[in-house]
Chains A and B, each alone.
Chain A
């Protein structure tokens, strides 16, 4: 599979759209799942996924041969998703009940939140969304990558092109601010 994928990448980098279609077939569903989790809107997630693949297509001639494709694609996807979400001000748009129902884990979950009433879940998520909207764009980016993509601080630094120390400090400041905002909201 690895050799096959390397060949596909090589062909796609030389303009072969059919090879790129096979790369799409292999990776788009995972990319879409990540995008839905990240932005909470299916239509926007599809747009982000397509945009990320378009950027990947343009970047393929610079792709480092031998390195895995998916982590590279996901880095592009996360960067693109963050840009699109900031441009579309998604943090100012309410979360739909449909999304909560879609993203609910069907069974085997022991977390009480996942079994909670969907309306209550929407309300809780709305509080967090409202708090996130009050953060700076850079703080929102690190929070999204940490909790929406489960990336480590080193991975976040790689995605955003910031030093690890900067990521740590922005993450800490964002958490402190969120604590204050969410705590105030609950009083």
Chain B
């Protein structure tokens, strides 16, 4: 199927879609044997056929939500390795990963309520461009914050905060019933603002305790090189987010150094 009707303006060669697509995928390749380590990795994930059989047994089951989160294998391996080295019980299913084209800098989030889900948010090219130290710091941060968030005191704190929000809602309803909506609204807003501030403070505590933990797990120099690499990737390392200390703050606390201001790197043109 040769399509000759489209001429190449640059080279005056005939435009052939079949040829372009065949060239894009290339010829069939010779066999590409993998290392023994590859089989060992697979073997670890096999499980037993009985498990598979058990899953297939007929009966009434709740429809299971299929996870849309896909975790690249290199990230899974790094996560398992860090958990193992830190002697922390972890399951790979704790980790979710989103590779998004619009994401500029890698980030890690831990679910607020349970603290059991760690979500990595990465730019598309992160798997190939990220340094090992960067990835280690992100994963260790997620794991350490997850451990922190699950501590009894913080769990109770979150339950208390949720209770205060509930009280704020009830206050609003009560005052509304008694035709004092404005007062009720003010009170509820104050309560909610208090909850937000406490929640923010709690997240800060967890984040700084987590940084102390990852220094124990990975070593200060490795953590510092990971944090600096993350800061170099970031457009605004000094920028604080809600419940999240800035990279500059973390670097100052962990490494005792400051992040170079971006302005210094710009060349002034007269």
CB-based contact B42/A33 at 8 Å: no
Q: Which of A38-68 contact B (CB under 8 A)?
A: 38, 41, 43, 45-47, 49-50, 53-54, 57-58, 60-61
CB-based contact B33/A32 at 8 Å: yes
Could you tell me the distance between the alpha carbons of A124 and B13 in the complex, rounded to whole angstroms? 13
Of B21, B32, B42, B99, which is within 8 A of A147 by CB? B21
Closest chain A CB from B66 CB (angstroms): 11
Q: A143 interface residue, CB < 8 Å from B?
A: yes
Please encode chain A, from 57 to 101, with 1 for each CB lying within 8 Å of some chain B CB and 0 for all others.
110110000000000000000000000100111001100000000
CB-based contact B29/A28 at 8 Å: no
A-B pairs under 8 A by CB, number: 134
CB-based contact A179/B38 at 8 Å: no
Q: Which of A134-158 contact B (CB under 8 A)?
A: 143-144, 146-148, 150
CB-based contact B21/A178 at 8 Å: yes
Could you tell me the distance between the alpha carbons of A143 and B168 in the complex, rounded to whole angstroms? 57
Chain B residues whose C-beta falls within 8 Å of the C-beta of A37 in the assembled complex? 25-26, 28-29
CB-based contact A113/B48 at 8 Å: no
CB-based contact B25/A58 at 8 Å: no
CB-based contact A29/B9 at 8 Å: no
Of B20, B30, B38, B53, which is within 8 A of A124 by CB? B20
Q: B268 interface residue, CB < 8 Å from A?
A: no
Chain A residues whose C-beta falls within 8 Å of the C-beta of B99 in the assembled complex? 87-89
Give the contact-size bracket for chain A. 35 or more
Chain B residues whose C-beta falls within 8 Å of the C-beta of A53 in the assembled complex? 42
Chain B residues whose C-beta falls within 8 Å of the C-beta of A186 in the assembled complex? 6, 8-10, 15
Decide yes or no: A36 and B48 within 8 Å by CB, A24-B42, A50-B38, A87-B70 being known contacts.
no
Stretch from B124-132, B236-244, B252-260 at the A interface:
B124-132
Q: A170 interface residue, CB < 8 Å from B?
A: no
CB-based contact A103/B20 at 8 Å: no
CB-based contact B17/A24 at 8 Å: no
Chain A residues whose C-beta falls within 8 Å of the C-beta of B266 in the assembled complex? none
Could you tell me the distance between the alpha carbons of A132 and B33 in the complex, rounded to whole angstroms? 29
Could you tell me the distance between the alpha carbons of A132 and B22 in the complex, rounded to whole angstroms? 13
Which of B29, B56, B72, B128 lies at the interface centre, i.e. has the most chain A CB atoms within 10 A of its CB?
B29
Please encode chain B, from 84 to 101, with 1 for each CB lying within 8 Å of some chain A CB and 0 for all others.
000000000000000101
Chain B residue at smallest Cβ distance from A121: B23
Q: B31 interface residue, CB < 8 Å from A?
A: yes
Closest chain A CB from B236 CB (angstroms): 24
Could you tell me the distance between the alpha carbons of A17 and B48 in the complex, rounded to whole angstroms? 9
Q: B267 interface residue, CB < 8 Å from A?
A: no
Closest chain A CB from B50 CB (angstroms): 6
Could you tell me the distance between the alpha carbons of A29 and B9 in the complex, rounded to whole angstroms? 42
CB-based contact A129/B24 at 8 Å: yes
CB-based contact B33/A182 at 8 Å: no
Q: B265 interface residue, CB < 8 Å from A?
A: no
Q: B41 interface residue, CB < 8 Å from A?
A: yes
Closest chain A CB from B162 CB (angstroms): 34
CB-based contact B28/A33 at 8 Å: yes
Decide yes or no: A105 and B27 within 8 Å by CB, A54-B42, A179-B6, A183-B15 being known contacts.
yes
Could you tell me the distance between the alpha carbons of A165 and B17 in the complex, rounded to whole angstroms? 22
Chain A residue at smallest Cβ distance from B24: A128
Chain A residues whose C-beta falls within 8 Å of the C-beta of B22 in the assembled complex? 147
Closest chain A CB from B35 CB (angstroms): 9
Of B19, B46, B128, which is within 8 A of A113 by CB? B19
Q: A5 interface residue, CB < 8 Å from B?
A: no
CB-based contact A148/B38 at 8 Å: no
CB-based contact B24/A50 at 8 Å: no
Q: 12 A-B residue contacts at CB 8 Å? A: A24-B42, A28-B38, A29-B32, A32-B31, A34-B29, A43-B128, A50-B45, A60-B49, A87-B99, A113-B23, A147-B25, A179-B15
Contacts beyond the supplied A182-B20, A186-B10: 10 A-B pairs with Cβ under 8 Å? A28-B34, A29-B33, A32-B31, A32-B34, A37-B25, A37-B28, A50-B38, A57-B49, A103-B27, A147-B21
